[in-house]
A and B are shown apart, each in its own frame.
Chain A
Amino acid sequence: MAEAIRIDTAEVIDAHEWSGLYVFEKYNLPKTDIPLLPRLAKNTNKQNEYLILQPFSKKAIGSIHTLKQLDHFSPGDIIYIDGQHGKIRGILNKNANANTLLVTEQCDNFCKFCSQPPKTQNDIALYEKATLSILNYGRSDLIGISGGEPTLNQKAFSTFLKTLNSFHNTTPLHILTNGRGFSDKKFCNEVTEILAERFCLWGIPIYGFESQTHNTLVEADNAFIETVSGIRNLLGAGQAIEIRVVPVRDNLKDLPLIIDFVQSNLAQVAYISLMNMEPKGLARKNFNSLFVPQRDQNSALLEAIELAEVHSLNIRLFNYALCQLDESLHKYACKSISDWKNYYTDECNTCNKKTECGGMFTSADGRFLENPRAFK
């Protein structure tokens, strides 16, 4: 793994009894009745010492020590102390280019390129952590909700949203889901009612224009039909949808047909994102059967994008390096990689398009790195 451009972790010692979520330095909230997290604040009298403080108290109930100053966190950030592993991790950070909360690792799809392979254990505590984090964060920036499959436990998902509502939180959310749960109209109506006062963008993957390819890639029967029904129901309820497509060997030549499918059946979607595969997790395991070099994707990407443009569908490229793309595709490429897993090579540092380019995944190193070539 290469080193990321933003480090979101720090090492900490003597923290075994202090594991949990904290607000860094100070609360960024108006006077409110939300359940407040404790605070972690620098001891101004002692280098590398941070004090544990209860809400509204100036008297420390404990302290921890770090190896370096925690300069990469900002006041108001939500951080997590993992005492067992001696680490502090940023959960919601002002300086991050994107903030995403993991709410479960359980999933009913088993995508062959999943970078976060599903687990079966009960992890309902993650929902509670996400709720507290959002409530304490106090900023109005979009927050991503990811998994696993966030809607797999329908009750936990609805409760999560309802709890946020009950404290008058209106944080806009970008929820990554396979959409299958929304093929149930009742669940769809229930959720959209809960979201009456909250903007939500649903990021939903479709990997083919028909069941066979999609279901094979997500290793789940009936997934395509349920996902598409779910999208149809959400669109009918006025929700904003982002269709996410990962081009791999099985579906690369079908990209234009996927665009046809979206235009013919789901034309009201807000965005289509073509996302280059992240070589992590199951994607590494299945690398040889899935991988298509970015360079070799160009003609399929071009055809798909031209078609999307004709229909005025909003289409974007995620996770592609500019040196791997035809010039005509550069304007569709976004700087999409989360900074905590993003890096630039030495070659990139000499490139005159570096500031516009999204760079690489930290997992794209060694044999997974596709030869970057600097623009001079």
Chain B
Amino acid sequence: MTLETPLNLPFLFRRIPKTNLTITSGYNGAFCLLEEESQIENLIRNNYERLPQDKLNELEAKSLISTQAEYALKASLHASSLATQIHRSLAKPSLFMIVPTLRCDHDCRYCQVSRAPINAEGKDLSENKIDNALSLIEAASGDDLKIEFQGGEPLLNFEFITEFIGKAKIKLQNKNVSYVICTTLTNLTTEIADFIKDENIQLSASIDGDADTHRHNRPSKYYDSFDLLQEKRKLLAEKNLDSKTSYIATVTRPSLGNAQELAEFFNSLSIDSIFIRPLTPLGFASSTARSIGYTADEYMDFYTEFLKEIIRINTQGTLFVDEMALIHLNRIFRPGSTQYVDMKSPAGLVLGSLIINYDGKVFGSDESRMLWEMTHSKELIIGDITLSSDLDFTHIAKTLKDSFLFALPGCSECAYQPYCGADPIHHLATQGDPIGNKSDSFFCNFQTLMYDLLFTMWHNSDDARKVFRSWLKL
């Protein structure tokens, strides 16, 4: 583009705080980082001669600006990209969560509504409901699906899991099914480990930090939660199941000052990735929130140091993946790839996932289940397998129709719109309405700061870019 004056296509922009970068992004998901504060004004006011040629080329290649002759073509290309994105989001749910029991052997500080005492009655999902559950899943799913057992502690109702998988082999034989069990691991026996191995099940376990941190966050009445976890990890290694196990770390307030130590600790565990996540103010009392909670800014100050340390570890030769960063990087660079249900537009509620609770009630997400435990709002329920395998979307449809980011206040002008998602349940729980005021939203602040961080690192740091590339390639 040399002689002609270009035209602008619709794009979004954001000045990234504490940097001189402005990110511009298009409905096609492409982004371009401008490197001087005045460049965005020059771009919008059509003073293209003040922008460097390589930037103009990049903007043109990414269809954020266009020649007159190509304008109609580029508009139609944006429409095709947007249609593809929406189409993908409207696919059948691919994640089905099942809560075999609400009973648990831990008393994690950030979990209140998701557990019941180990001997509680009436908190188990009965095996005679399996047929309805499978009928529901069979009808609602596409060709590929993941079934995730959650709780409580799923292994406390292991018989349900074995029965379920046995029947699923027949009922879901025409599908490509993978299984995950989210577990504290403390109830793992050799028998259970063998079953997990035979059925090729993945495990997802929590390890919040070193012994003190883990014991503080995830105490148990019955044992030393950290020591027993490490013992069970040895059993996993013996059975060659360590490669099938991934780890989650939930950060509470006391850890905020220990980012580097935490990163080093996880690296010392001989695991190859960690999914580190913040607390969301859902599911536990406000008094607890004061002692373990934090603002998005506080969390991201911690996380910035944490990620920098992880990058340092990778640069020194160890491949160690920060899964939270990778999810966001996938959203940026590989829009078709991620199935992370909390970050989709329209929302992943129902459209991405379903959860069957221990009492048979069916919800559109784990968060919905938690919110129901707190509020008992009937609108959140979309089915009940104690009655039938049918689903009723009447109430949910209203929520979903207001979860298209390009149409929502607070989101419609955000440059991260192509990469972010709607989380109506989070906003319903924290602000009382599914859309909420994004400037007050932990979810929005967290996502914004995450993308600010990742785009800045991608642009400014050769080391970070190299490490991110190596993760994307996996």
Consider the complex of A and B and state whether they touch directly, i.e. have CB atoms less than 8 Å apart.
Answer: yes
Q: Does A246 contact B (CB under 8 A)?
A: no
Contacts of B472 in A (CB 8 A): 309-310, 312
Is A265 in contact with B58, judged by CB distance below 8 angstroms? Answer: no
**B334 x A210 contact (CB < 8 A):** no
Does any Cβ of B come within 8 Å of A311's Cβ? yes
Please tell me if the beta carbons of B63 and A265 are within 8 angstroms of each other in the complex: yes
**B333 adjacent to A211 (CB under 8 Å):** no
- Type the 1/0 row for A202-218, where 1 means its CB is closer than 8 Å to any CB of B: 00000001111000000
Pair A211/B69 contact, Cβ less than 8 Å:
yes
CA distance A359 to B430 in the complex (A): 65
Instruction: Identify which of residues 43-71 in chain B touch chain A, using a CB-to-CB cut-off of 8 Å.
Output: 57-58, 60-63, 67, 69-70
Measured between C-beta atoms, what is the minimum distance from A219 to chain B in Å? Answer: 17
CB-nearest residue of chain A to B329: A310
User: How many contacting A-B pairs (Cβ < 8 A)?
Assistant: 72
Q: For B60, what are the chain A residues with a Cβ–Cβ distance below 8 Å?
A: 209-210
User: Are the CB atoms of B469 and A228 closer together than 8 Å?
Assistant: no
Q: Is the interface of A mostly helix, strand, loop or mixed?
A: helix
Residues of B within 8 A of A260 (CB): 30, 58, 61-62
Interface hits, A26-48 → B, CB 8 Å: none
| A195 in contact (CB, < 8 A) | no
Smallest CB separation, A228 vs chain B (Å): 6
CA distance A267 to B473 in the complex (A): 17
- B89 within 8 Å of A by Cβ? no
Does A334 have its Cβ within 8 Å of any Cβ on chain B?
A: no
B333 close to A311 (CB less than 8 A): yes
Which partner residue on chain B sits nearest A258 by CB separation? B61
B368 within 8 A of A: no
Task: Tell yes or no: A189 within 8 A of B by CB.
Answer: no
B336 located at the interface, meaning its Cβ lies under 8 Å from any Cβ of chain A in the complex: yes
- Across the interface, A264 reaches (CB within 8 A) one of B1, B62, B336, namely B62
Q: Decide yes or no whether A306 CB sits under 8 A from chain B.
A: yes
Task: Tell me, rounded to whole Å, the shortest Cβ–Cβ distance linking A268 to chain B.
Answer: 7
B78 nearest CB neighbor, chain A only: A265
Encoded as 1 (CB less than 8 Å from any B CB) or 0, chain A from 339 to 360 comes to 0000000000000000000000
Tell me which residues across on chain A come within 8 A of B28, comparing CB atoms. Answer: 264-265
Quick one: CB contact mask for A100-112 with B, threshold 8 Å, 1 for yes?
0000000000000
Residues from chain B with Cβ under 8 Å of A211 in the complex: 67, 69-70
- Which residues of chain B have C-beta atoms less than 8 A from A264's C-beta? 26, 28-30, 61-63, 77, 81
Interface-side segment among A124-132, A150-158, A229-237, A317-325: A229-237
Q: Do residues A310 and B333 form an inter-chain contact, with CB atoms below 8 A?
A: yes
How many residues on the A side are at the interface (Cβ–Cβ under 8 A)? 27
User: Which of B61, B76, B335, B473 has the largest count of A CB atoms less than 10 A from its CB?
Assistant: B61
Min CB distance, A127 to chain B, in Å? Answer: 31
Cβ-defined contact, A209 with B469, below 8 A: no
| A212:B1 contact, CB within 8 angstroms | yes
With a cutoff of 8 Å between Cβ atoms, the chain B residues found around residue A306 in the complex are 469
Alpha-carbon distance between A266 and B78 when the two chains are bound, in angstroms: 10
- Of A225, A235, A263, the residue contacting B30 (CB under 8 A) is A263
Kindly list chain B residues whose C-beta atoms are within 8 Å of the C-beta of A375: none
Interface size class of B (residues with CB under 8 A): 20 to 34
Given contacts A210-B61, A257-B58, A257-B61, contact A312 B337 (CB under 8 A): yes
What is the chain B residue whose CB lies nearest that of A263?
B30
The chain B residue with its CB closest to the CB of A257 is: B61
What distance in Å separates the Cβ of A148 from its nearest Cβ neighbour in chain B? Answer: 25
- Give CA–CA (A265, B83) in the complex, Å: 12
Q: A211–B2 Cα gap in the complex (Å)?
A: 11
| A309:B469 contact, CB within 8 angstroms | yes
Q: Mark B314-347, 1 if CB is under 8 A from A, else 0.
A: 0000000000000000000111110000000000
CA distance A310 to B467 in the complex (A): 11
Cα A264 to Cα B69 with chains together (Å): 19
Which residues of B have CB within 8 Å of A199?
none
A207 to B109, CA, bound (A): 59
**Does B73 have its Cβ within 8 Å of any Cβ on chain A?**
yes
Residues of A within 8 A of B76 (CB): 229, 232
Q: Which B residue sits closest to A225, measured CB to CB?
A: B73
> Which residues from 252 to 303 on chain A have a C-beta closer than 8 Å to any C-beta of chain B?
254, 257-258, 260-261, 263-268
Contacting residues, chain B, for A232 (C-beta < 8 A):
76-77, 80
> Quick check: is B84 within 8 A (CB to CB) of the other chain?
yes
Binary contact readout B353-367 vs A (1 if CB under 8 angstroms, 0 otherwise): 000000000000000
Question: What residues of A have a CB within 8 angstroms of the CB of B84 in the complex?
Answer: 267-268
B394 to chain A, nearest CB (A): 33
In the bound complex, CA of A310 to CA of B30 (Å): 13
With A and B bound together, what is the CA distance between A235 and B84 in angstroms? Answer: 11
A210→B1 contact, CB < 8 A? yes
Q: In the bound complex, how far is the Cα of B418 from the Cα of A264, in angstroms?
A: 12
Residues of B within 8 A of A212 (CB): 1-2
Complex Cα distance, B65 from A210, in Å, reads 11
Determine if A267 and B469 form an interchain contact, defined as CB atoms under 8 angstroms apart.
Answer: no
**How far is B29's CA from A299's CA once the two chains are assembled, in angstroms?**
27
A211 to B28, CA, bound (A): 20
Q: How far is the CB of A179 from chain B (nearest CB, A)?
A: 13
- Partner of A225 from B58, B69, B336 at Cβ < 8 Å: B69
CA A328 – CA B334 in complex, angstroms?
Answer: 23
Query: Given A232-B76, A264-B61, A265-B77, is A210 in contact with B67 using a C-beta cutoff of 8 Å?
Result: yes
Closest B-chain residue to A209, C-beta based? B61
Question: How many Å lie between the Cα of A228 and that of B73 in the bound state?
Answer: 8
Query: Are B473 and A309 in touch, CB under 8 angstroms?
Result: yes
Binary contact readout B1-45 vs A (1 if CB under 8 angstroms, 0 otherwise): 110000000000000000000000010111000000000000000
Chain A, residue nearest B32 (CB): A260
In the complex formed, the residue of B with least CB distance to A311 is B333
Give the most central of B29, B67, B80: most A CB within 10 Å. Answer: B80
Task: Name A257's contact: one of B57, B74, B337, B473 (CB within 8 Å).
Answer: B57
A209 to B333: give the CA distance in the assembly, Å. 19
Query: In the bound complex, how far is the Cα of B67 from the Cα of A224, in angstroms?
Result: 13
The answer to whether A209 and B337 have CB atoms under 8 Å apart is no
User: A31 vs B473: C-alpha distance in the bound complex, in angstroms?
Assistant: 50
Q: Which of A225, A265, A312 contacts B81 (CB 8 A)?
A: A265
In the assembled complex, the Cα of A211 lies from the Cα of B57 at a distance in Å of 12
When distances are taken between beta carbons in the complex, the residues of chain A under 8 Å from B26 are 264
Q: In this complex, what residue of A is CB-closest to B66?
A: A210
A262 — nearest CB in chain B belongs to which residue?
A: B61
Which residues of the other chain, B, contact A311 by a CB distance below 8 angstroms? Answer: 333-334
State how many angstroms separate the Cβ of B122 from the closest Cβ of chain A.
48
**Closest chain A residue, CB of each to CB of B3:** A212
**Chain B contacts of A312 at CB under 8 A?**
333-334, 337, 472
Interface members, chain A 181-210 (any B CB < 8 Å)? 209-210
Contact B57 A267 (CB under 8 A): no
Instruction: Specify the chain A residue showing the minimal Cβ separation from B64.
Output: A264
14 contacts between A and B (CB under 8 A): A209-B60, A210-B61, A210-B70, A211-B69, A212-B1, A224-B70, A229-B76, A257-B57, A260-B61, A260-B62, A264-B61, A264-B77, A265-B77, A267-B335
Given contacts A210-B60, A225-B70, 17 further A-B contacts (CB under 8 A): A209-B60, A209-B61, A210-B61, A212-B1, A225-B69, A229-B76, A232-B76, A261-B63, A264-B30, A264-B61, A264-B62, A268-B84, A309-B469, A309-B472, A309-B473, A310-B469, A310-B472
Task: List 5 tightest A-B contacts by C-beta distance, closest first.
Answer: A264-B30, A209-B61, A260-B61, A257-B61, A265-B77
